[in-house]
């Protein structure tokens, strides 16, 4: 999916919501456990219930891998079920030396090899350029690079100061030599709203993938105020708040209500802050 197409979906849906498919088999409603593939059954219902109100889905790989072979199969079916109108993110935080990153790129971008055909993958920057570039060999596919994350440990290294600037700023500036805003996005945690307006000056045209709204305590209003650009430039993720809005037979309906509420709030912010 191109930058253009993604922005079209955002204006069409009046939403920049990404639904994080962090599907934990220990948390899904009990009645689904009788299904042949409970994780897929849950995801299918969530996708049906929320696709009107979101523009992206982000399966978190850890939740699938923790189920081994069966989890990998649930992931494949889930991805195939997501409508083509929605941007898909493999939240995998990968990154290794060049030839290995090339294989991770095959994993997420080459359905003939792996059965998966994501639009994008999250990548950790620690290993530098040649750990990122192999993902960019696939046309129309995106790298979403970790910049400033929403967890407490994010400060351990990301905010260390190098030449008067925190490390994450070096990640933002150096990585712009590898790809432009048509192929790269950045992860910036919603709990870091104080840093968002400054980050916008460094990457004015890039999309930011913003986790941390909801369960992790970030404010959607602040993220939208400080982070939005002329093409929206935001994908704000919610996982647990939507997935586990209900725990009974009506879990999908409750997820829909929650996703709709976020979309309504986003519609308001698009009117206020789209520059």
Q: Is 63 in the site for its own copies (CB under 8 A)?
A: yes
Q: Rule CB under 8 A: choose which of 48, 110, 221, 265 binds its own copies.
A: 110
Q: Is 158 in the site for its own copies (CB under 8 A)?
A: yes
The least distance separating its own copies from the CB of residue 40, rounded to whole angstroms, comes to 13
* Strand 184-188 relative to strand 161-162, pairing: unpaired
Q: Is 42 in the site for its own copies (CB under 8 A)?
A: no
Total residues at the site for its own copies (CB under 8 A)? 61
DSSP 170-219: HHHHHHTTT--TTTEEEEE-GGGHHHHHHHHHHSTTSEEEE--BSTT-B-
- Token pair of 113, please? 């090899």
Binding mask 198-227 for its own copies (x = CB under 8 A): ------------------x-----------
Q: Which residue among 93, 141, 268, 275 is the active-site one? A: 93
User: 29 or 59, CB closer to its own copies?
Assistant: 59
14 is catalytic: no
Q: Rule CB under 8 A: choose which of 60, 120, 192, 238 binds its own copies.
A: 60
Q: Rule CB under 8 A: choose which of 33, 66, 80, 272 binds its own copies.
A: 66
Q: Rule CB under 8 A: choose which of 127, 202, 257, 274 binds its own copies.
A: 127
Nearest alpha carbon to residue 240 among 212, 266, 213, 215 = 215
- Token pair of 70, please? 């069966």
Q: What residues contact 27, with CB distance under 8 A and at least 6 apart?
A: 243, 244, 247
Taking the C-alpha atoms of residue 152 and residue 169, their distance in angstroms, rounded to an integer, is 18
C-beta of residue 160 within 8 angstroms of C-beta of residue 166: yes
Q: Which stretch binds its own copies (CB under 8 A): 48-56, 106-114, 136-144, 249-257?
A: 106-114
C-beta of residue 252 within 8 angstroms of C-beta of residue 28: no
Taking the C-alpha atoms of residue 205 and residue 173, their distance in angstroms, rounded to an integer, is 13
Q: Is 80 in the site for its own copies (CB under 8 A)?
A: no
Active site amino acids: 93
- Contact residues for its own copies, defined by CB under 8 A: 22, 24, 60, 62-63, 65-69, 71-73, 76, 91, 93-98, 100-101, 103-104, 106-107, 110, 113-116, 124-132, 146, 149-158, 160-163, 167, 170-171, 174, 216
């Amino acid at each position: 999916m191109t930058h253009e197409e993604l922005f079209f979906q955002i204006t069409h849906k009046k939403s920049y919501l990404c639904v994080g498919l962090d599907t934990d088999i220990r948390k899904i409603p009990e009645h689904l456990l009788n299904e042949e593939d409970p994780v897929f059954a849950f995801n299918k219902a969530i996708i049906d219930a929320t696709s009107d109100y979101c523009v992206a889905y982000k399966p978190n790989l850890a939740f699938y891998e923790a189920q081994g072979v069966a989890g990998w199969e649930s992931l494949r079916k889930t991805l195939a079920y997501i409508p083509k109108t929605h941007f898909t993110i493999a939240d995998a935080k990968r990154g290794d030396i060049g030839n290995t990153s090339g294989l991770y790129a095959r994993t997420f971008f080459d359905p003939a090899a792996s059965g998966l055909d994501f639009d994008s993958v999250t990548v950790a920057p620690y290993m530098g350029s040649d750990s990122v570039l192999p993902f960019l060999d696939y046309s129309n596919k995106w790298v979403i690079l970790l910049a400033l994350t929403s967890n407490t440990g994010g400060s351990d290294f990301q905010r260390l100061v190098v030449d008067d600037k925190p490390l994450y700023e070096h990640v933002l500036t150096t990585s712009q030599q590898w790809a432009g805003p048509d192929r790269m996005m950045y992860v910036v945690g919603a709990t870091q709203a104080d840093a968002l307006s400054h980050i916008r000056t460094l990457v004015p045209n890039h999309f930011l993938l913003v986790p941390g709204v909801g369960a992790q305590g970030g404010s959607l209003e602040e993220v939208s105020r400080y982070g939005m650009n002329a093409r929206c430039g935001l994908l704000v993720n919610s996982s647990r708040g939507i997935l586990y809005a209900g725990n009974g037979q009506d879990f999908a309906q409750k997820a829909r209500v929650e996703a709709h509420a976020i979309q309504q709030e986003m519609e308001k912010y698009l009117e206020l802050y789209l520059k």
